[in-house]
């Protein structure tokens, strides 16, 4: 029988990456950071316009939902060729 002490603990050929590096190479991070930056800029420059109260959120979410419906249709057309 083989002894467990003879086996190496890990493969030294595999490059070790940090958790920060693993998070930075994710493609979703760009979209998340862009969304956060846009909301922060709008909060700074248009904070007193009522954009973030209940009526303001309802207003821009309705408009964004309409754009999303058009975007999904355009995306399906591009996928279909």
74 pLDDT above the threshold of 90: yes
Residue 23's nearest CA partner among 32, 14, 15 is 32
pLDDT at residue 7 in the model: 61
CB-based contacts of 60: which residues, under 8 Å, 6+ apart?
A: 51
The residue segments making up the domain with residue 63 are 4-80
78 pLDDT above the threshold of 90: yes
Domain count for the chain:
1
pLDDT at residue 67 in the model: 94
Per-residue pLDDT of 56-66, as tens digits, reads 889 989 999 99
């Amino acid at each position: 029988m083989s002894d467990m002490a003879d086996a190496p603990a890990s493969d030294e050929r595999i490059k070790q990456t940090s958790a920060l590096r693993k998070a930075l190479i994710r493609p979703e991070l760009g979209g998340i950071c862009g969304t956060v930056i846009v909301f922060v800029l709008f909060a700074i420059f248009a904070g007193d316009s009522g954009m973030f109260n209940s009526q303001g959120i309802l207003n821009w979410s309705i408009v964004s939902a309409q754009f999303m419906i058009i975007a999904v249709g355009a995306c399906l057309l591009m996928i279909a060729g």
